[in-house]
Each structure stands twice: as structure tokens, then as C-alpha cells.
Structure 1
Amino acid sequence: MASIRKRGNSYLLVVSMGYDHTGKRRAAQQKTVKPPEELTPKQKEKWLNEQAVLFERECKDTPLTVDKSTTLAQYVQLWLRDIAPDKLAKSTLARDKQDIDRFLPYLGGYKLTELRPEHFRKLYAELRKQTSQNTGMPLSEYTVEGVHACLCGILSDAMEGGFLNHNPAWRTYKYSGKKKEKLVADEGTMQKIITALENESIKYETYFKLIIATGMRRGECCGLKWSDIDYGYKSIHIQRNVVKITGEDIIVKDTKTVAGDRYVYFSPEMESLLKE
């Protein structure tokens, strides 16, 4: 894929053209692009990667092997079989399968080359009318946004594989309604929780107090081993995460990001609980 270099507010795409028959390097092809201003950092990264793929195809005259009869449902089967298992973590793939079950009844019959932005906007509107089987409440906007992200990812892979020359789902999602402010427990509430925990078993008291004191994620806390604790420095090395997928065994894996592999520190009170 073309390399991407930042230049002020724009980006330079550079495609290496290899060597000629004499062994001399051919001049690289360059193109400057500027992402739409309203994109989030993650959306900008995805947009730039798509532009890089398209520019490299343009420079190298890579033929698009588009099978105009391939439907979204057919491509999803191929994607689940050949691409997703090597690309995604099991937990991510399990979530994507839930999203796939939501959009296939609406879009699965369309050929990839027939998909248009209005198809996706109509899908999101229909999803907002549905209710969750677990809660009986309308699907959350977070769920609808997740379906959009899943579609964008699958269609980006279709584009890279030569099935499409652009991603038709790109920039078709718009947040509906007002974003709710996250509720954070105040000091008084936290003190009530801590007091209540003292009436629970030592296992649960230690587990929840450890999370409150250090801010580690629940999966990180479940993944701790006694060897991760250094009583001399009163520190804990967080280096793995535990994930539970419905219907499957518990999965122990590396932390979600490189920054997630870190050390946290505990108080003398926490030390006493851990030793107990």
C-alpha cells in the first residue's frame, strides 16, 4: 500500500514503482490529499488508508476483479471464512457476528456494487425502531453505531480485495439524539460502596476495592496472577486481559493496547487485603 506522510494539514501519498529492466529505481508517484475536517482521528486514519489503496491501484493499473453478481451476504460468508479469523480477536469477531445478524436481513440481498449511501441510512433508521431482546428497550445508539463500524470494516476489506473501488458505507452514519453524560460515582457513593464491601467475602472485597483503588478494567483484574504483585514496591504488573464470550470458554489474552501493559500501585490497606 502507498505510504502516508503528514504535511501540515494535508497528507502525502507515495507509491514506490519498483525498478526498471536496468535495475534503476523508477520515480515514485505522489499525491497530496486532505481529509474532511469533521472526521474523528479514527475515521481520518481509515479514510487515509482507503485513499492510499485507491492511489496505488491508479498508479500500478491494478485491475479490479469485481464480480458484479457478488451480494453482500455472499461476501460476508467469504469474509467470515477467510479474512476475519486472522484479522480480529475472538471477542471482536463475536461482536461483529451480532452486528452482521442485524444488517444482513436488510442489506444481504444487494450486490456489493449496488449498495448506495441511502441503503445504509435507511438501515440505521430501521434499527432505531427495533427493541432489544434482552432489555425490551429500543436499541441504543451505541449499538447502531457499532453496526455502522462493522459494515465499514467489512466493505473496506472488500475494497482492498478488489470487489469495490470505494467504500459505499463511508460517512453514512450520523449520531441521532443527544449524547448522554457518563454517570460517575461521587465520593459519598464510593464510600457507601466501600463500606458495603466490608460485609462481603474477602475475595469480592479485595477484587472491587482493587478496581476502585487502581482504575484497572474488570478483565485485567480477573487476569491477575499472584506473581504480578510486587509487595516490595507495592505495585501490580497488568499484562493480560480476560474476556468471556457467550457460549465459549474464557479467553486470556494480552492487554488491549501497548499502553495497557503497565504498573499500578496500592496502599498499605490494600496490601493487607491481598495478603489475607
Structure 2
Amino acid sequence: MAEDRSTGRKRGRIEERGSSLRVKVYAGIDPVTGKRVYLNETVPGTDRAARKKAEKALTRLLAEADAQRAPTSSVTLAYTINEWLKASELEDSTEEGYRGYIDRTIVPALGSVPISKLTTRTLETFYADLRRCRVRCDGKPHVDHKADGDHDCKKSKCKPHACKPMAASTVRQIHSIISGALNAAVRWDWLNHNPAQVAKRPKQKPPQPDPPSPADAARLIEAAFEMDEDWGTLVWLVMTTGLRRGEVCALRWSDVDFDTETLNVRRSYRLRRGVGVEKDTKTHQMRRIALDSETVVLLRSLKRRLCDRLTEAGTDFDREMFLFGGVRRFDPYQPYSPHAVSSRYKDMAERLGIKTHIHALRHYSATELLTAGVDLRTVAGRLGHGGGGATTLRVYAAWVAASDRKAAEILGSRMPKRGSI
């Protein structure tokens, strides 16, 4: 037997269990539960050869315990995820969405499983079950009862169960939560490796941006200015800068530099449970966007209209006022609701018979620039994409290819003709 010199505790032993030998090694105290942790291994047989194998296994397990390579915690996945959420700096809306996936899907299925017993195969089976049926039924015909206990299924409108597969994007989100929590467990020495890192999850569907055509974009701009000059300026600004709706709603006059003709995008505005909140941009980075001369003219006109209204109301201009504030009632310190922007734009597009949404203007800005030959890094910077253009390339690959074709034609046109060589 091996002995811990500091405590005198027998650290490992070989026990005869029926027709096999069990090797058991003490690996310390679980840092979370406070319970003793043991490493175990079974060797078939009880003869001399089996005992030699058991002794080798004992030596190996002792080395693992000494090197702290073995799992040091038997906490459950539910506990690990909860501790990970406490330590993570997530947006409120992101954490709220995560907790929905955790409570509805992850915890009921895997919450009680010790993280040391989670395997890659377990996770892949879990994902496959979700892709087959979001409630992970057994595949046998049954009725989804709408009431508990004895009841009249007809009155309660109970229906035969129909399997509804969970969307691939949702399963990927669930995988991201589990993988993030297990990565934290590895960092905290609760786990020696993360089985989710090599687990196969549903493939990500290639992005398919659908920007309005130049003709439709012209109709949309014309209709927006006919409705209202301020509304037309907002739509124009989104179309020419590729701003996200939350970013355009959060713009203040202090963000506009008329001297350098630039726009500083510092924050975003969103509604959460009816309450407006200003937060960082999606990539948590400020970016500066150059403005064309026509856009500068429109913004100057927007400012003049605001100053005229302020004069009528007996109020002075303040650079901290929002560019697009007080739409329903005049209040320049209250930003336009992102939801209202989407709704108003959608209604306008439907009246024109154009099937689109406000975010498609962001796609329009990107695709027009790429098609015109603007380099990928510049387009990524204007859109606020991270990764030095990797995201832009993934989303707009088809338009990058079109731009590349145009570049090839330009270069070819400048080459000397064969007859003149």
C-alpha cells in the first residue's frame, strides 16, 4: 500500500472483488463538496499476472493524483453552469436567454450528471435527440395531455404528440453554454479536459443576406422622406453607414463631427421589458465612420429643424440630445425606440410591396461597397465587425467574389493587348 507521509493516510490499495482486482487511490478532498475523491480501476483476474497489472495501475493512479491530472470535483453540470454564470460578465438579455435554455432543456436532461462523467458521446447523443424532438420523447406514439390527473382529453384539447425538431442554431447555442461552463471547470481544476470541445454539433447554416435592390432602395428612401424629413434622414443614414438599429437610435449630437465629417458610434440602445437601456456596441468597441457630403447636408438640416423646435419650446440646444428623439412627442432626450423603427420601416416597405426589414439596409450598405471594389477591411470597419474582416467575409462571401471578378476585369483591361506586344 502507498502512504501519504504528511498525513499517514493510506493513499492506495488493491482489493480483491470476486474474480477481479480493484485498485483504489485517494486523490484528496473535493474543493467544492468537501468530500474525499478516489481514483478507481478494475483489473480482471486474481492470479499473479493480474496482480502485477494491478500494481502498475496503482503506480499510475498515484502519479496522476500527485500531478493533479485526475478530475478533482464530482459536482454536477447544473452546479457548474450556475457557478459559470455567476463568474461570467454577460449582458442581461444574453444571460436571460441562456437561463431559458438551461432551465427548459439542459438541466432536466443533464443537470444531475457529475461533470467528471460527462463524455463526448453523451453530449452528441443529447444534441441528436434534440434535433429529432425538442422534448426528447421516446419515439413512441402518445398524447400530449394539457391537464394533469384524470381529465377529459376532448375538453382539455389534448392532441397526439408530434415531434418537433429543435433548430440547429438553438442546439448550437445550447452547446455553447455547456462548453463554456466546462471550460470554466477546467480552469478551476474541477475537470481535466472539456469533452464538449470535440463534440460534433449541428453545422452552422451559411448566412444568406438579402439586401434590397438599388431600385427598391431608391423607392424606400423616397417613401421615407415623403413620410417625414426626420424619418427619411434616419433611413438614409442607416443605408449609407450600415448602422445597427440600436446604434442609430443611440446617436447623440456629440457623436457627430461636422468639421471632419465623421460619425462616432459609441453605444447602442435597446429595450428590455419595456425599459430603455444604453449599452456598449455589439463588439464593445467605438468606431469612427466617414460621412459623405450629402449625408452631412442632411444631418445639418436635421439639426436646424431641431433647433427651430427648441426655440419654439423655449429650450436651448444640447449636444447630448439624441439625433432621432421624441418621434411621437417632442422630447430630444428620449431616443427613438428600436422596436418602433423596425415596425415603422416594415409597414412602409409593405405599402410599397417590398418584402424586407430594417436590418437588410445594413446588408445593402455592405454589398454595395464590396461590389464597388471597396476593400474588405474598410467595409468590416464601417459595419463594426470584429476579427479583421473574417465575419464580413463569411457573411458576404458572394459579394466579395463579385468584387474580385471586377478587380480581375480592371487589371485585365490595363494589360497590353497581344497584338501590341
Band the TM-score falls in, shorter-chain normalisation: 0.5 to 0.7
Q: Is the 8 Å Cα contact of residues 73 and 191 (structure 2) preserved in structure 1?
A: no
Native 8 Å contact 1:228 1:238 kept in 2? yes
SS of equivalent to 1:125: helix
2:106 matches 1:103: yes
Look up the SS of the partner of 2:112 in the other structure. coil
Report the Cα distance in structure 2 between the residues aligned to 1:144 and 1:260, rounded to whole angstroms: 32
Query: What amino acid is the match of 1:154?
Result: A
Report the AA paired with residue 116 of structure 1. T
CA shift, 1:211, in A, is 0.8
> Are 1:64 and 1:163, in contact at CA under 8 Å, matched by a contact in 2?
no
Q: 2:87 aligns with which of 83, 88, 103?
A: 83
Aligned residue for 1:179, secondary structure, equals coil
TM-score, reference length from structure 2: 0.44
Alignment partner for residue 262 of structure 1, among 265, 288, 313? 288
Alignment deviations for residues 221-276 of structure 1 (CA, whole Å, 9 cap, x no partner): 1211111112233321111122333x373332233336542233143353355333
Instruction: Give the 5 Å matches for 1:1-276.
Output: 61=67, 66-68=72-74, 70-80=75-85, 82-84=86-88, 87-101=89-103, 102-129=105-132, 139-176=166-203, 179=206, 181-245=208-272, 247=273, 249-257=275-283, 260-268=286-294, 269-275=297-303, 276=305
What 5-or-longer segments of structure 1 have no aligned partner? 1-57, 132-136
Structure 1 residues 93 and 258, CA gap change in structure 2 (3 angstroms): closer
**Deviation by residue 1:22-69 (Cα, 9 ceiling, x = unmatched):** xxxxxxxxxxxxxxxxxxxxxxxxxxxxxxxxxxxx9x945767232x
| Aligned residue identity for 2:77 | L
- 2:277, 2:87 → 1: CA distance? 21
Q: Which protein is bigger by CA-based radius of gyration?
A: 2
1:215 CA drift (Å): 0.9
Which secondary structure state, in structure 2, belongs to the residue aligned with residue 67 of structure 1?
coil
For the 8 Å contact 2:133–2:165, the answer to whether it is kept is yes
Q: Which deviations, in whole Å up to 9, do the C-alpha atoms of 1:168-225 show, x marking residues without a partner? A: 1112133348635332222122122212212333443222221111111222112111
Q: Using the alignment, how far apart are the partners of 2:191 and 2:248 within structure 1?
A: 43
Check 1:182–1:139 CA distance in 2 against 1; reply closer, same or farther (3 A cut).
farther
> Distance between the aligned counterparts of 1:224 and 1:263, measured in 2?
13
How many residues are treated as equivalent by the alignment?
209
**Is the CA contact 1:145–1:173 (under 8 Å) kept in the aligned structure 2?**
no
* AA matched with 2:116: T
Aligned equivalents of 2:172, 2:270: Cα separation in 1: 22
Partner Cα distance (2:290, 2:167) in 1: 34
Q: Report SS of the residue matched to 1:236.
A: strand
AA in 2 matched with 1:274? L
Report if the CA contact (8 A) 1:214-1:266 is conserved. no
Who is 2:336 aligned against? none
Gaps spanning 5+ residues in structure 2: where? 1-63, 135-163, 306-421
State the TM-score, normalizing by the size of structure 1: 0.64
